[in-house]
Chain A
Amino acid sequence: MVMKSEKDTSEKRFKNIILVSGLSVIILLIAIFLTLLIASIPAIKTFGLGFFISKHWDPSLEKFGALPFLYGTLITSFLALIISIPFSIAISIFLGEYFKDGLLSTFLRSSTEVLAGIPSVIYGLWGLFLLMPITRYIQTLLGTTPYGVGIFTASLILSIMIIPFSASIGREVVSLIPADLKEAAYSLGATRFEVIKNVIIPYARSGIIAGILLAFGRAIGETMAVTMLIGNSNFLPKSIFSPANTMASVIANEFAESTGIAASSLVYIGLVLFLVTTLVNIAGTYVIKKISLEASKEVT
């Protein structure tokens, strides 16, 4: 964009404005990281990395360890992923292979979009009034204390919430598979199931893994619905029905009333949450990008 004798100042001003706007995204992200880091320094200094293996979170004694929340986050997210994966893969194959277009596909696709658009807090409300009684019922059957809220309920709602997200990635990945590969398999007399099993799934494997990774990133950061359903307990959970807290939910529950080292410890948790989601998102996006680049190469 060389304009040798460009004297027009508005031209220059315009280019500067868009450049600065572009740079502002970088500045914003660096500022977020530095702010989190600086605000968590008191907690980092006091507790160090032991913060994540200590299981005592006691604001009255000013003792803070994040193990219960780390634990709560990982368990709810993994459970949610395990529950949601069969559904996500089914929808991906449904939309990416069986019913690529047509009424049924449009219907299912728009309904997953609607599902993705429903606010987290409404999932929480719905969970409180529908999932909680179900869990309570299961718990009475099992003979445990019927809290109703806890890791199990939170994982259920979380799995419902991440299905649309991972399904949309899965559909994208499945539809990227070159048609000639599938046709080659069909021409040898393979059934559709065999094509899916032997061509589509192996080909889409890295995409599916990336999708799961991104869904995991989504799940660990999810706050409201989990906060409403997990039971807000700062002790290490004993079973999957125990009340607990995730990293995000403990921040939501306590940050507004915390000061000093307690607030700093919560920011420390936030910092870790930020770093983990950052890594997961960069890795997942990188893989997806690589796949779509390869797919576009094969077409040309």
Chain B
Amino acid sequence: MDTAQDIENDKIIPFPSPVMIQEDKTIDNKTHLKLRIIKDRLFKYIVIVFSLLSFLPLLLILFHITKNGISVINWSFLTELPKPIGEIGGGIYNSIIGSLMLILLSSIISIPLGISAGIYLAEANKGRLSNIINLCIVVLQGTPSIVIGIITYLWVVAPLGGFSALSGGIALSIMMLPVIIKSTEETLKLIPYHLKEASLALGVPYYKTILKVILPTGISGIMTGILLSVARITGETAPLLFTAFGNQFLNYNIFKPIDSLPYRIFYYAMSPYPEWHGFAWGASFILVVIVLAFNLIARGVSAKWKVQF
């Protein structure tokens, strides 16, 4: 059965292609050979040029954020609240605190659920149920963030009667969930079965084997997944537009609207005031630094805490 398929596969493989056979005939033709080599070189250069060109926006973005951002940032920018337009000074303290609170809220919701679902997928036998769950994760991961915003509005904001930090946290936790589940599942699946056996053979119950042997062994992979998902949601704006909303005051109450860095950038960027545009760049610089820091820590964690088998 397999061999029949293999033969069929062989047919599809476009090799040796007719073009090459033709060229084989002219193999002695020196100018032809030269042409082929020139074509080869040319193509390589085109690939390199296009690859490096796509690198240009990154350079420009980082350059502009740094150039426009750093000049705005000082101690009071980080520690003061926004001032009404017309007054000089003010900062984004409320947005930084707000973003941290949103990260905390969404992590509290999504980390336990995500790890637990990840364990299920890693431990369950391959069956229809885990296939369906995997499909749902793919769909959830691809769901536009603005749709998550609508959903959380309908589920949380409308019943509670107003925008709130809680609803923002819930929206972001829905976005974190698939990343955490997938990274947990993939990490745990890589852990050799013989470790589980070693624990079971010592008379350790199954659940303790998972919690005390398998999870600690996979901790670096799981932490990496969590950090990457946090990096992803820290910059999310769309799901916050109608959930956490924004708040120019400092707020610690999870039932009240709360500010966040990405929301503040949006608000300032769309305003007509040049001074606020400057603030948008400053906030962007802080946001990029935070996001990159999470990414870097994630890499560090996966390298440093990696358990060797």
Binding site for B on A (CB under 8 A): 1, 3, 8, 10-11, 14-15, 17-19, 21-26, 28-29, 32, 35-36, 39, 86-88, 90-91, 93-95, 98, 108, 111-115, 117-126, 128-130, 160, 163, 167, 181, 184-185, 188-194, 196, 198-199, 202-203, 214, 217-218, 220-224, 228, 248, 251-252, 255-256, 266-267, 270, 273-274, 277-278, 280-282, 285, 294
Contact = CB atoms under 8 A, between A and B. Distances in A.
Contacts of B9: 294
B24 interface: yes
Given A21-B113, A121-B235, A126-B64, A87 B54 contact: yes
B13 A118 contact: no
Contact of B144 (A108, A192, A274): A274
B154 interface: yes
Given A115-B58, A191-B37, A266-B150, 20 more contacts: A14-B210, A22-B129, A32-B151, A35-B154, A36-B147, A36-B150, A90-B50, A114-B58, A117-B291, A121-B262, A122-B235, A122-B287, A130-B60, A223-B144, A267-B150, A274-B144, A274-B147, A277-B144, A281-B139, A281-B142
A198 B19 contact: yes
Nearest to A10: B207
B265 A1 contact: no
A221 B177 CA distance: 18
> Which 9 A-B pairs give the minimum distances between C-beta atoms?
A119-B235, A221-B144, A90-B50, A281-B142, A14-B207, A22-B120, A21-B116, A191-B40, A21-B117
B55 A111 contact: yes
Interface in B274-290: 277, 280-281, 284, 287-288
A124 B269 contact: yes
B74 to A, nearest CB: 20
B120 A18 contact: yes
A36 B237 contact: no
A93 B116 CA distance: 38
Contact of B130 (A1, A22, A252, A273): A22
A255 B157 CA distance: 13
B190 interface: no
B161 interface: no
A202 B14 contact: yes
Provide the main secondary structure of the chain A interface.
Answer: helix
A267 B152 CA distance: 12
B36 A191 contact: yes
A183 B191 CA distance: 34
Q: Which of A124, A194, A224 has most B Cβ within 10 Å?
A: A224
Range for the number of chain B residues in contact with chain A: 35 or more
Contacts, number: 277
Among B119, B136, B292, residue most surrounded by chain A Cβ atoms (within 10 Å): B136
Contact of A123 (B61, B130, B242): B61
Interface string B224-252: 00000001101111100110010000000
Contacts of A94: 47-48, 51
Contacts of B51: 87, 90-91, 94-95, 108
Contact of B136 (A15, A25, A124, A199): A25
B11 to A, nearest CB: 13
Interface string B107-145: 000000100110111011000011011011111111111
B222 to A, nearest CB: 14
B181 interface: yes
16 contacts: A3-B206, A22-B124, A25-B117, A28-B174, A32-B151, A39-B150, A87-B51, A90-B47, A95-B51, A108-B51, A118-B235, A184-B15, A185-B20, A251-B150, A256-B242, A266-B150
